[in-house]
Amino acid sequence: MSIMLLILLQLLVLVSCAPPRCDPGFRGQCKPTVEEKPKCTDVMLSYCDDMPYTQNMFPNILNHKTREDAEGSAEYLLLSVLEALLGGECNPDVRMLGCSVMAPRCEKEKVLKPCRTTCEAVRKRCSHAFDRIEMAWPYFLECDRFFVSDEEGCYDPLEGLRAEQNEEEVDGMETPPEYRDDTIKFNHHTNAQMISILKKTEEKCEDIARTYSIGRSIEGTELLVIEFSSNPGEHELLEPEMKYVGSMHGNEVLGRELLILLARHMCSEYLLGNERIQTIINTTRIHILPCMNPDGHDLAVSGLQDNNYSEDEEGEEERPRYDSSHVGQNNAQNIDLNRNFPDLTSIAYSRRRQRRYRTDHIPIPDSYWFGKVAPETYAVMKWIRSIPFVLSANFHGGDLVVSYPYDLSKHPLQRNMLSPTPDAKVFKLLARTYANAHESMSTSSARCGSSHGVSEKGTVNGAQWSSFAGSMQDFNYLHTNCFEVTVELGCEKFPAEDELFQGWHENFEALLTFMEAAHRGIKGIVKDEDGNAVKGAQISVRGIRHDVTTAKNGDYWRLLTPGVHIVTASAPGYAKAIKKVHLPGHMHTAGRVDFLLKKAELEPDNQQEEDSIPPVGSYDRFDPYNQYERYTLMADVTQNHPESAKKPWWWSYFILPESPEPTWLLKHH
Ligand SMILES: *[C@@H]1O[C@H](CO)[C@@H](O)[C@H](O)[C@H]1NC(C)=O
Ligand SMILES: *[C@@H]1O[C@H](CO)[C@@H](O)[C@H](O)[C@H]1NC(C)=O
Ligand SMILES: [Zn+2]
């Protein structure tokens, strides 16, 4: 987009430079003969040639004396690039509004002024488009200042547009007009485009969607999440929360594109009344972070461009094989984000010999903070801790398989050893849920990549495949209530655009089915005798050394496989409550199991547990050394190129030689 703007701009400068501004010797055309009364002249401004009138007058309403003055102004420059700036939105409406001021309608040697009501309607509809690019509403479109009321004899500058639109609507009766711009395109998106699509989706589906930022990458790109829920922005009692995280390896782009498509799809299908999508959104809070590593993505894209030549010369295969490239896998500090989480798996292993060891809510060791913590990792850790997530998937490329924890081998010297969690059954079920719903992942013919020898119907234990420490899925499981799996979407890390549709087609069912899996197992509320919610109560399942804890309002979710389970709820100061639960197979909603905890004078178990469970305080310790401050400072510094730091990206386009800076474009001036 920026390049286009620049070209437009240069054209414009050429055009407006060509005729000399005012050459007194030239037919006397622009001699300052002020006495002469201004007359109606033909509209000559090329960006205003579709106005519903043919004659205008100079000086215009902004007091540009001549057409050339108007053409050389920053105001006109803005009109000429609006289409590109606003991504096609609100055009031609805003441009025509601008023309009604810059090339004002002239009849019988008098200027007619445009209607305030039209201006106000356009402003209401379009001011958000300016907000999005952090541009102020242009001063010359101030409705009170340059526009007048009906009584003062105004005309409607969008009259011509209305007539056109009415014709179109008759033609396109089939699709309601608000969906017309929604033809989903299968192409790669830049980070800016991705953010703009998510924000547009939020606007379009404001009742069920919300975007929010969880932080910034090291280069300062926003890590933007879009959330879908019947009540965006709020946790609802007993409603499970799940997340999708794309492209923590920036060069593995299919996940990112699939998640952008998914967000748009969920929004438009909800509006169209798709019952399945509506049910998912009405019963589940879904958070989608399409790209955890936007800087790596940028690097991968530029890496691809550098690779162009060799492809052609070899010419042995039609399809370029981008996979070989690791450029962009890591973040801009060259940190692999999927190795950058605290290694809690080693801690879990080291506790195995203890009598009552647990594999949940393991605190982050202080030593972790002395290492390099990427801001992307930091942001995601903070996010994971702040929401009671139940289920998650993160998306990669380079293989076609779903891997589940642990990623770190239980034997330090065996790099391909099956190393299951206490919840192996649940994880296998989750992995199979995705793989089976995928078009080809679970079939043997579709295998590719290095998981080939060890995977089973499209699923594999991470450590058995290839052991490593510091993975995100291990962290989710050992530090929070969330169960995460890693989905490898295909052999090509950077598929060509014409393969994106295929990718969507293969994964779309699996993406929905996996969301629905947040409703497996049991959920409920833990209360005390007075009916107060008990926060942080532990829900234990006999035979599984991994508890989940209740959220703020006492609600919990425990993913489980079908069968009989003995479930216990406990909290300090209360007697345990035990229930036997029978979960039939193919249950599609979580079984409701509530607990009532009675106060107990003395917990006989407490003494022993004290040995193995670290004090609660250390779990709450997050970033005790203020790494975050340091990293945000660094991110600010990298952004701090003197001019562009405070000014938006489009600012430099509007700086014209020998003209004052158009500070009126800036929002905070
Ligand atoms: C989802 O919730 C909305 C708003 O309450 C309601 O109009 C819609 O019918 C619900 N859809 C389904 C399938 O439950
Ligand atoms: C790379 O190749 C594609 C297709 O052959 C071409 O459109 C593109 O301009 C090339 N990019 C560069 C940077 O050479
Ligand atoms: Zn990866």
Same-domain pairing of 486 and 541: no
**Protein residue with least CA distance to atom 9, ligand 1:** 278
- Confidence check: pLDDT of 23 > 50: no
Same-domain pairing of 161 and 212: no
Q: What's the CATH number where 408 sits?
A: 3.40.630.10
In 10 A of CB 394, how many CB atoms? 25
- Of the candidates 524, 548, 544, 546, the one whose C-alpha atom is nearest the C-alpha of residue 536 is 548
172 domain-assigned: no
13 domain-assigned: yes
- Of the candidates 408, 401, 558, the one whose C-alpha atom is nearest the C-alpha of residue 474 is 408
Per the prediction, the chain carries an average pLDDT of 84
For ligand 1, pick from 205, 269, 278, 519 the residue to mutate: most ligand atoms within 8 Å of CB: 278
Query: Which tokens go with 3?
Result: 């390049």
The ligand minimizing its distance to the Cα of 498 is: 2
267 domain-assigned: yes
Range of 435's domain? 191-515
**Protein residue with least CA distance to atom 6, ligand 2:** 308
Q: Which atom of ligand 2 is nearest to the CA of 306?
A: 13
Same-domain pairing of 500 and 529: no
Give the DSSP H/E element, type plus range, for residue 375.
Answer: helix 375-386
The ligand minimizing its distance to the Cα of 283 is: 1
Q: Which atom of ligand 2 is nearest to the CA of 308?
A: 1
Give 258 Cα–ligand 3 centroid separation in angstroms. 15
Q: Using one digit for the tens of pLDDT, what is the confidence trace for 366-418?
A: 888 878 899 999 999 999 999 999 999 999 999 999 999 999 999 988 889 99
Amino acid letter for position 404:
Y
**Protein residue with least CA distance to atom 9, ligand 2:** 305
Give 88 Cα–ligand 2 centroid separation in angstroms. 26
Amino acid letter for position 68:
E
Strand segments, DSSP code E, in 60-184 are 106-107, 110-111
For ligand 2, pick from 3, 188, 308, 313 the residue to mutate: most ligand atoms within 8 Å of CB: 308
Q: What's the CATH number where 98 sits?
A: 1.10.2000.10
The ligand minimizing its distance to the Cα of 230 is: 1
Q: What is the mean pLDDT of residues 620-629?
A: 78
The ligand minimizing its distance to the Cα of 496 is: 2
Query: Which tokens go with 58?
Result: 């100079």
Is 202 annotated as catalytic? no
Q: Crossing angle for the helix pair 74-85 and 2-17, nearest 10 degrees?
A: 150
Sign of CA dihedral 288, 293, 298, 302: negative
Starting from the edge strand earliest in sequence, which strands make up the sheet with 389-396, in order?
209-216, 222-228, 285-289, 241-246, 389-396, 483-490, 399-404, 459-461
- How would residue 447 be classed by pLDDT, with cut points 50, 70 and 90? low
Q: Which atom of ligand 1 is nearest to the CA of 282?
A: 1
Same-domain pairing of 296 and 368: yes
Q: Which atom of ligand 1 is nearest to the CA of 207?
A: 4
642 domain-assigned: no
Q: Using one digit for the tens of pLDDT, what is the confidence trace for 334-358?
A: 999 999 999 999 999 998 888 778 8
Q: Which atom of ligand 1 is nearest to the CA of 276?
A: 13
Q: Which atom of ligand 2 is nearest to the CA of 312?
A: 5
**Protein residue with least CA distance to atom 2, ligand 2:** 308
**Proportion of the chain above pLDDT 90, given as a percent:** 58
Give the DSSP H/E element, type plus range, for residue 5.
Answer: helix 2-17
- Confidence check: pLDDT of 452 > 80: no
Strand segments, DSSP code E, in 474-562 are 483-490, 522-528, 538-541, 544-549, 555-558
Q: What's the CATH number where 571 sits?
A: 2.60.40.1120
29 domain-assigned: yes
Please report, to the nearest 10 degrees, the dihedral formed by the alpha carbons of residues 145, 150, 151, 153 taken in order. Answer: 80
Sign of CA dihedral 150, 153, 157, 160: positive
Q: Which domain-ending residue is among 556, 586, 606? A: 606
Per-residue DSSP letter, 174: S
Same-domain pairing of 332 and 309: yes
553 Cβ closer than 6 Å to some ligand 1 atom: no
Q: Which atom of ligand 2 is nearest to the CA of 309?
A: 14
Q: Which of 239, 252, 488, 506 is catalytic?
A: 488
Q: What is the largest CA-CA distance in the chain?
A: 106
Give 243 Cα–ligand 1 centroid separation in angstroms. 21
Same-domain pairing of 150 and 54: yes
Same-domain pairing of 338 and 263: yes
pLDDT at 13: 44
Give 299 Cα–ligand 3 centroid separation in angstroms. 15
Q: Using one digit for the tens of pLDDT, what is the confidence trace for 462-515?
A: 999 999 999 999 999 999 999 999 999 998 899 988 899 999 999 999 999 999
pLDDT at 181: 41
Same-domain pairing of 317 and 348: yes
Give 466 Cα–ligand 3 centroid separation in angstroms. 13
Q: How wide is the angle at C-alpha 534 spanned by C-alphas 532 and 538, nearest 5°?
A: 155
275 Cβ closer than 6 Å to some ligand 1 atom: yes
* Those residues with Cβ within 8 angstroms of residue 622's Cβ, 6 or more apart along the chain or in another chain: 364, 381, 382, 385
Lowest-confidence range among 314-318, 515-519, 581-585, 633-637? 314-318
458 domain-assigned: yes
282 Cβ closer than 6 Å to some ligand 1 atom: yes
Q: What is the mean pLDDT of residues 606-633?
A: 64
Give 308 Cα–ligand 2 centroid separation in angstroms. 6
**Protein residue with least CA distance to atom 3, ligand 1:** 282
Q: Which domain-ending residue is among 606, 629, 654? A: 606
109: left (phi over 0), alpha (psi -120 to 50) or beta: left
230 Cβ closer than 6 Å to some ligand 1 atom: yes
Q: Cα dist. 274→179, 280, 281, 626, 636 in Å?
A: 15, 10, 11, 46, 43
270 domain-assigned: yes
Task: Give the whole-angstrom CA distance, residue 50 versus residue 559.
Answer: 61
**Protein residue with least CA distance to atom 4, ligand 2:** 308
- Confidence check: pLDDT of 159 > 90: no
The ligand minimizing its distance to the Cα of 309 is: 2
Same-domain pairing of 395 and 476: yes
For ligand 1, pick from 231, 282, 284, 285 the residue to mutate: most ligand atoms within 8 Å of CB: 282
Give the DSSP H/E element, type plus range, for residue 634.
Answer: helix 627-639
Give 278 Cα–ligand 1 centroid separation in angstroms. 6
SS3 at position 203: helix
Give 397 Cα–ligand 3 centroid separation in angstroms. 6
Same-domain pairing of 332 and 443: yes
Same-domain pairing of 381 and 440: yes
Same-domain pairing of 229 and 361: yes
pLDDT at 273: 95
**Protein residue with least CA distance to atom 13, ligand 2:** 305
278 Cβ closer than 6 Å to some ligand 1 atom: yes
Q: Which domain-ending residue is among 132, 167, 202? A: 167
Q: What is the mean pLDDT of residues 142-156?
A: 91
Task: Give me the number of domains the chain comprises.
Answer: 3
More confident residue, 567 or 163: 567
616 domain-assigned: no
Pocket of ligand 2 (CB under 6 A): 305, 308
Give 200 Cα–ligand 2 centroid separation in angstroms. 30
- Confidence check: pLDDT of 626 > 80: no
